Structure 1
Amino acid sequence: MKAKMLVTNFYKSDVILDSTVVADYLHDDIILEWHSTKGFLKLDKKAILELSKELGNAYMRSKNNISHIISKGDTVTIRYSQYVKTIENPRDDLLLAHFMVIWEIKDDQLFRGYQMSQL
């Protein structure tokens, strides 16, 4: 699968809420370096899957509004805003954050990520 298509498929759906599906996208040696408004995180595959499980328990739906996706070879950059629906309020979309991520793809999986987010 081409790198841009892989990243697009990952962000175009509720994938992040299902850790079993997320696992299929992640390289065994994945590292995600994440600069957020709460500080710096360095996540490996296990930590990303734990985060996915937490999100799946907290939200019933996730939607990403992608504004930019640019690829060159095995590197893809994506800019999006993530909205979620809670069990308590399933009719309203709640803005979770704005994101910018650069992904390096290896073996048709997400391998190295450099992410920034802001509430």
Structure 2
Amino acid sequence: MSAKEIVKKFYKSDALIDSEVMKDYLHPDVLVEWNSSTGFVEHNYNSLLDLSNDLSKAYVRSKVRISHIISENDMVSVRYDHFVKTIENPREEMLLAHFFIIWQIKDSKLFRGYQISQLY
């Protein structure tokens, strides 16, 4: 499977709200450098699983809409919008944030991520 296919499959899955699915995609030495509207944070394997668990407590559904995806060798750049449905209102889909990330794939897993986001 190509690096681009791995990333597409990741974002089509429930990994963002299901840590068991997330485990299938993460390299054990994964590191994500994330610049968000609220500041900078680094995530490793365990903190990404914790983030997925936290999201699953607030949202019953998570959907990513990719607008751009470009790959070269083991690097994949993705621009996407993240939509969710809350536990309180599962019928209404809301935009959570806009994202851009560059993923490096190693051993067919997400290895390095460089992400920026802006809340809606």
TM class by shorter-chain length?
Answer: over 0.9
1:116 aligns with 2:88: no
Distance in 2 between the 1:43 and 1:87 partners?
A: 25
Q: How many residues align?
A: 119
TM-score normalised per structure 1 = 0.97
Distance in 2 between the 1:30 and 1:44 partners?
A: 6
- 1:78-89 aligned within 5 A: 78-89=78-89
Q: State the match for 2:51 in structure 1.
A: 51
Letter in 2 for 1:29: D
Distance in 2 between the 1:94 and 1:37 partners?
A: 18
Distance in 2 between the 1:26 and 1:13 partners?
A: 13
> Is the CA contact 1:68–1:78 (under 8 Å) kept in the aligned structure 2?
yes
TM-score normalised per structure 2 = 0.97
Distance in 2 between the 1:2 and 1:53 partners?
A: 28
Letter in 2 for 1:18: D
Q: Secondary structure at the match of 2:90?
A: coil
> Is the CA contact 1:13–1:62 (under 8 Å) kept in the aligned structure 2?
no
Q: Percent identity?
A: 57
- Pairwise CA RMSD: 0.7
Return the offset for 1:24. Answer: 1.1
Q: Which runs of 4+ in 1 moved over 2 A?
A: none
> Is the CA contact 1:12–1:64 (under 8 Å) kept in the aligned structure 2?
yes
Distance in 2 between the 1:47 and 1:13 partners?
A: 19
> Is the CA contact 1:66–1:79 (under 8 Å) kept in the aligned structure 2?
yes
Distance in 2 between the 1:52 and 1:21 partners?
A: 10
Letter in 1 for 2:92: D
